[in-house]
Structures are given as C-alpha cells and as structure tokens.
Structure 1
Amino acid sequence: MFSLQKKTAAITGGGSGIGKAVAEVFAQQGAEVFILDLNKAAAEEVAKAIQAKGGKAHAFAVNVADNKQTKDVVAAIAQQAGRVDILVNSAGVSHIGRLDNTTEEDFDRVFTVNVKGVYNMMQAVIFQMKQQGGGVIVNLASIASSVGLPDRFAYSMSKGAVLTMTLSVAKDYLKDNIRCNCISPARVHTSFVDNFIAKTYPGQEKEMFEKLSKTQPIGRMGKPEEVAALALYLCSDEASFVTGTDYPLDGGFIRLNN
C-alpha cells in the first residue's frame, strides 16, 4: 500500500524541515523526487542522501515567488521525467506580529512566498497535469488557517489563503482528474523552531521548548515525518476518493484546546 512507484513528485522547500521529510518518505516509497529549494546546497544534500539509499532524487534551486522560475522548473521536470504526478507545496516563511506592528514590507514578504509561491507552483503544474490526464497537489497550510493565533496576523492571512486556494483548485479541476488537498499542522519540531527559540529566548531554550510543546493537548510538537506520512497517503492511489479537504495534524489543538 501507499506505493509511489513510477510517480514523479515535485516538492518545494525540500531542502529542510517538513519538505525534506516528504522528499525522503516519497523516495522510500518509490517516487522520483525533485527537490525544489531556494537553498540549492541544502536541496543537493537531501538529494545525495536519498540517492545513497538507492532512491531517485534531483535538486533544483528555485525561488517559488518568481513566476518564471516556477514555470521553467516544471517544464524541466516534465522534460526529464515525462510527467509531474505530484506537487507538494511546503516552502514558506513565518512572521510574528499583530496587525498594528506588521510592516508593509513584512506583509509583502509573507504574501509573496506563502501565497504567490503556492499560486505560482500550482499554476505551473496544472497545465502539465491536465495534459497528462491527472495529478495530485498537497499544500501545507496551518492550524492558523482555521483558528485565531496570537501574534500571527500576516502568517495566518497567508495560510488562510492557502486553504481557500486548495478548495478552489479541487473544485475547478475535478473533471481533469486532479486532486487537491491541504495539511494543517500545529507546531512541528524542525530546526526553524530551535533557531526561533534560541534567538527569541536566549538562555531559556529548554523551558520555552517545553512550554511550546505543551500548547498541543497531546503534550508535544509534531514530527516532520508525521506530516510526511499524511502527505504520502494523500498523494497515493489509496486516497483517490479524497479531494478538497483540509487535514488538521495538530495533536488535538483545534478541537481539544479548551
């Protein structure tokens, strides 16, 4: 079950964090993975690690906020592999702030990467997927898409847009055999979280890590591999009846945090 043999998968943000875990899991399940990341060195490192284990992986330096770059890389993947079966949009940036202290520059930066980046990649693959007779898209949204989080104004805006774009694409391309879903994680333990804690709470790293972990009712943060496992299901043939759905992966945060 959940085999991705003979499938090609493009994964943005694949050089680290959740995107890296998705690339590794998909390769383990037989997919030929194309790791797209702003940091080419990080993407190449992930690709080499996958190749060392017998998997098929390729690295591309891509700025998802650049429309031309996204179109060019999708064209390159289609030319090299013959098709693009799967797109996972994992690239994104975060921001801490309320409406009154979010600058226009910060707002634009978050929008450009988290919203326009997803738009660019989906638009780039949709023509290829229609031409080849189908495909699957999974977007990384957030619990911030659905609930109010303190000090996350711009980030919540961007992830709300990811959720609604997901629903629109799922609806518009039903007849083209293209499925589109999104995953909404709560806090996931990545190097980004560790760096954020070290920068924001120097000397209190252990205490703040435990505090942030306990904001999930289950008592801990998620693991990148857990997000990757759900993405694997959604991109597999076993999920062929699933589209237009948001999957909270939140340790009970949305329903049980009261």
Structure 2
Amino acid sequence: MHRRETAALLAYVGRLDPRTIRTDQGEARDQLAQWHDLLDDVPMATPHGWDACVAARQHIRTSPYQILPADVARPWERYRRDRLARHSDPTPSVDPDDQAAWTAELAGTRRAVAAGTAQPVQARAITSGREGIDPKLEARLREIGSCIPPAVRIALAPYRPARAAREAAVAQGMPDALSVRCEWCMAQPGKPCRRRIGVDDGVRGTAPRDTPHPGRFDLATSQRLQQPEQSAMA
C-alpha cells in the first residue's frame, strides 16, 4: 500500500483502539514509517475480498493485544495462499512454441490471482462441447485448421501409419474406411483393423494393420454412394 494508505489505515486503527495513537509528532512519524515498511507489499483493498481495514478490525475485535503490522500481514498471506491453492493454470492463449511468452502469461496470471486482481481459475470438468474455450485459442484453431499443426502431423505420420493413411485417403476424396465397422475383423468405427485369427465368430486380434481390410473400403464406398440417393429421396 502507498504511504497515504498506510496513514489512513493507522487513523482507522486509532479510532478503534486508542492505544495505537501517538501524540508526539516524532513518534507518529516513526510509527508510520514502521507500518509502511512492513505493509509495503500488502494492498489496502482488492476487487475480490481483501480489505486491510477489515483484517485490522477483526484483530481488534478478537484479541486483547494491541495490533501490530504483522496482524494485518498474516491475514494477507493466508488470503494469497488460499487463492493460489484454488487456482488451476488455464491454458495460455499465446503460441505454445513461444516458451518465453507462454511462461510470462502463466506467471502473470498467477501474480494477478495472488494479488487479488483476478479470480482463481478452477479446473473445468470434461464436457462434450466446446463451451468456455478462450476466444484467442478458438481463433488460432480456426487459423491452423486443427489442434495439431500440419508440420507436427507430418512428423507424427511414421509413428501412427493407420491414422496417416486415413487422413491421406480423405484428403484425396476417397471414402473414410474407418468410419464404418469392419465385417472381417469386427473393428468398431474409428478403430484400425487388426489381423484376424480363426474362421469362426471367435475373433482374436494381434497388432493393428496399417491399412484397413479391402471389404471395409467397399462398405465405406457403398455407404457414401447411398447418402446422395437418400438426400435426393428426402
């Protein structure tokens, strides 16, 4: 708090507890300097629940001892710890490849929460929608077209060949084979095909195939051809 705010706090305390009043000008100056040095990093008030006058009043109400600067500083430290304990770092809106900007935004958010100028951000529950996404992140997602940048997608292709083959087929206008259930290995939609062992309905899978079974391509193609016909009939 500023020196004038410290003086205002001392005047308020003096009205509640006359024992803190200093009539000598030199003693009053020394008292003000002491309180200001000890409460320099403590704000007078914040938009979210902290008020130094309330902390001082609470001490005077509940303690028979004369108030000291520490009796205001301790509640402030508890206030800071409580807010930081309830805070979960939100995803910064800057480019994650910019480490300096990413770290600076995280640290700035924490400082604002601890200082009482911003509310703690609690971890959001997992939902199926896109509610609550930061507008800056939404704009960047529209800009790159996917949460995985193209360069990263290319770098990951050797490590997930089935996914890469599926994306390449869709990009070329071919039907998405993984959008339907495979009648050969019983792989569910969205799951890669697996090698089938056995001739009966008992299916056991080993490692996933890099490419879907041919029958799965045929089924996806037939369903794709049926969609325009169904739309025309509707």
Larger Rg over CA atoms: 2
Normalized against structure 2, the TM-score is what?
A: 0.19
Structure with the larger RCO, 1 or 2 (CA within 8 Å, 6+ apart)? 1
Higher relative strand content = 1
TM-score of the pair, normalised by structure 1: 0.18
